[in-house]
Chains A and B, each alone.
Chain A
Amino acid sequence: MRRLMMTSASLALIIGAAACTSTPPPEPEVVEVEQPAPPPPPPPPVEVVEVEPAEPIPNGPVEGSVADFQVNVGDRVYFDLDQYRLSADAQSVLQRQAAWLSSYPDVNILVAGNCDERGTREYNLALGERRASVVKDYLVDLGVDPARIQTVSYGKERPIAIGSDEQAWAQNRNGFTQILSGAVG
């Protein structure tokens, strides 16, 4: 906003001049002075905050999560053709599963027995149930409370590999441990 006013300095000059001269003081001249623009405000102070870097992206899933179980433990064990015996590889996966389950005692699981497509539906339902049961028994032997383990057989109805070759069949002959509840996250 623009204001009209005399500065106090010019007013003092006028008064002083009047006191030293006999001539009548001139009518005080009203000078219009344009007020200069106010100085820019000082820059705000640099706010010093505690800069806490975000947690680095973890190298893997959160411990105790479903993803942790899938990635770091392993949720499937594989069987040979028409077999339900646990291989050494399968046993080591199940040992990791048992250890993990003992760390997360609230977790309940469903063990599903699956078969390849080279058998009849009914026989494979029986074989899948036997595979699921073998996995459960092994986990129970390692100390997992049987009340935490449900089993189901899907026979040949739930292939994970949709091909029709030895490689796909080998993948589809498995015991799949699915976390039902109690995982972190």
Chain B
Amino acid sequence: MIKRLCTALFVGLAFTISHAAAQLEVTLNPTNFEPTPVAIPTFEAIGVDPAIAEEISEIVRNDLLSTGLFTITPESAHIQKDVNIEVAPRFADWKIIKSDALVVGSVESVVRDGNELLRGSVRLWDVYGEELMRFEDESGRQVSGRRFLTNPEDLRRIAHKISDAIYTRLTGETGYFDTRIVYIAETGPKDRRTKRLAIMDADGANVQYLTSGRFTVLTPRFSPEAQQITYMSYENQMPRVYLYDLRRGRQEVLGNFQNMTFAPRFSRDGGSVLLTQATNGNSDIYIMDLQTRQSRRLTDHPAIDTSPSMSPDGREIVFNSDRGGSPQLYIMNTDGTPRTCPSGGRDVACRITFGAGRYSTPVWSPRGDLIAFTKQARGKFHIGVIGTDGDGERLLTEAYLDEGPDWSPNGRVITFFREAAPGASPGLWSVDLTGRNLRRLPTPTDASDPAWSPLLQ
């Protein structure tokens, strides 16, 4: 299903590179933040319909704009109309319209083994430094530009790859545009709701439905390593955790649990799934190895223990428990050994949330330093983040219902779902880790439970 995108080095072009002392760099510091102006003239069409080049250029502009880190200089203001990927630009023309960076690209048709392919090429210029900004390729080499080759129907992916390359070069962070989001598509009245598993590109394009809607499905999560999704389904009136293989388009019940299983989430290496099994009124957390299909019980407590999420190094698990009397976040060692709690004392599980309110759905950041959560306080819901030791809680959003955060693969952006007001339609949103750039993600139907894929290959 997923076509591999061919990446190729940008070679064979001679450039004279001037080495400036300080290069353009976009800082992600939340204080005194000013978006960086970038100019992206429509890419040159070489042997392809100019509409294709226009479409790719527009996707790149929208990707960069969606980060909140950049503004795009309107094309009508551009002075130099003859930019060419082979030639250095007239920097003065771009300085005068105050573009810090200039993206120059081309789209061409390439025939390989009798197949017509599409190739997108891009270079990035530091306007004020008057120099080419080199990229680092997948093998760590410095290259003067990036070039991506794929089937013509995957032109959006060429655009997202270009956006990721530019974002990475300007911010120093891994990109997240060539990714997908799995979510629950909702239709019908509230008391007879149809909930289907759906998947789309991270910018909302290419929505596909993976289940028919006959059975309610909930809480899908992407494997951080593979084209797999785990989710909960009420298929055959047996609520269980399922595993969906996107390459094969097949699903299976995960494990041989006797009772309801729910709240699944992959370990960071993708090799295991953490989940909850509820037995006779008591929910506890289990981990299942996807290779051996052996499961191991991680919590054994009469309170509710659910919503587990593993640290990137695999050593710790944050989860939701009401063992203290209300839903709060706790951290335990994956091997179950006691730990020294930030609040003092030693215990197998340490509470890390002490603010006024109820905390749930913790999700460990891919960077490891933060945990995103849902918080309920004073009749409102929030998405927030907190340090793994319970310090530095920050609430990023507030609404009638904000629920279910998940991280972009680079750990910069959080997606979640919101019902803005009582009875309002739920939809998907994203917010920057700093609380800036709150945006709605377009979906054709009501939507909930978004989860981000890893960066595609």
Using a CB–CB distance below 8 Å, which chain A residues touch chain B?
A: 82, 84, 117-123, 125-127, 129-130, 132-134, 137, 152-153, 157-165
Contact = CB atoms under 8 A, between A and B. Distances in A.
Contacts, number: 94
B281 A125 contact: no
B430 interface: no
Interface stretch (B31-39, B80-88, B188-196): B188-196
Given A121-B404, A122-B276, A133-B280, A162 B191 contact: yes
B417 to A, nearest CB: 10
A125 B376 contact: no
Contacts of B401: 117
A120 B403 contact: yes
29 contacts: A119-B358, A119-B360, A121-B219, A121-B403, A121-B404, A122-B276, A123-B304, A123-B306, A123-B320, A123-B322, A123-B361, A125-B218, A125-B239, A125-B260, A125-B276, A126-B263, A127-B304, A129-B281, A130-B282, A134-B281, A137-B280, A152-B237, A152-B239, A157-B193, A162-B191, A162-B423, A163-B422, A164-B423, A165-B422
B326 interface: yes
B191 A126 contact: no
A126 B361 contact: no
Q: Tell me which of B190, B191, B278, B281 has the highest count of chain A C-beta atoms within 10 A of its own C-beta.
A: B281
A23 to B, nearest CB: 110
Contact of B304 (A126, A157, A163, A164): A126
A162 B404 contact: no
Contacts of B193: 157
Given A121-B219, A121-B449, A127-B304, 14 more contacts: A118-B376, A120-B361, A122-B262, A122-B306, A123-B307, A123-B327, A125-B260, A126-B262, A126-B263, A126-B276, A130-B281, A130-B282, A152-B260, A163-B422
B384 to A, nearest CB: 13
B106 interface: no
Interface in B276-290: 276, 278, 280-283
A129 B191 contact: no
Interface string B45-71: 000000000000000000000000000
Interface residues of B, number: 39
A38 to B, nearest CB: 71
A121 B449 CA distance: 9
B216 interface: yes
Main secondary structure of the interface of B (DSSP, over half): strand
A143 B50 CA distance: 77
A125 B422 CA distance: 21
A63 B218 CA distance: 39
Contact of A162 (B189, B232, B237, B400): B189
A122 B191 contact: no
B374 interface: yes
Contacts of A120: 307, 320, 360-361, 374, 403-404
A5 to B, nearest CB: 85
Q: Tell me which of A152, A163, A164 has the highest count of chain B C-beta atoms within 10 A of its own C-beta.
A: A164
Interface in B414-452: 422-423, 449
A122 B193 CA distance: 17
A71 B180 CA distance: 50
A82 B320 CA distance: 15
A125 B216 contact: no
Given A82-B326, A126-B283, A126-B304, A119 B376 contact: yes
